[in-house]
Amino acid sequence: MQKKIVKSTGKLEEFDRNKLIKSIVDAGAPEEIAIEIAKEVESKLQEGMTTSEIRRYVLARLKELAPQAYEAWTFYDRIAKGRITFEDGKYVVVEKGHLYLGREVKDVGPKGLSSSEEVEGILHELEEDLKYGISKATINARLYALLMGVLKSKHMPKEEKEKSVQMINSFRQKLGWKPYELKKPVV
């Protein structure tokens, strides 16, 4: 029998190992590491464990095993979910939809991305971070997280998503990297 976990909303849900593996892989971790972490979580899983507890464990392991994936996960949490992650893996949900997306983009309203202007501000932040010595591997992880934030946004119109993907790809090309090739059309 599958153990039930408690979501942040308080709703009970059966633990889904494949969903956890997908989240870890989406953050940029190799599949082997994602499977290893999921197995560890499953072995420690207790009835009524919260998704926050699971998330904290996953982030701690990612930080050790796949630092770029850790960085991408926390960056995605910031831009798409309104979470700010601290070193110990705890997070604060920013109340009333005010989310700080970076130095260029201030409080923008509801959590998540809603315009290409926000994406442009984040790209300026990444460019500045590169100048201050943040590694290209970290910037690459953040770009992927930003792309996922754009594609999964429920608040951004299709045209804005397309424009944002184009800006992200231009930024990648400016760094000498290949643009992302989308597997399916933007919706």
pLDDT at 1: 66
Query: What would the mean pLDDT of 82-96 be, rounded to a whole number?
Result: 49
Q: Are strands 91-93 and 12-14 parallel, antiparallel or unpaired?
A: unpaired
pLDDT at 167: 97
**Statement: residue 82 has pLDDT above 80:** no
Give the whole-angstrom CA distance, residue 37 versus residue 169. Answer: 31
Q: Which residues pair with 84 in a beta bridge?
A: 92
Predicted TM-score (pTM) of the model is 0.63
pLDDT at 100: 45
**Statement: residue 172 has pLDDT above 50:** yes
Amino acid at 131: K
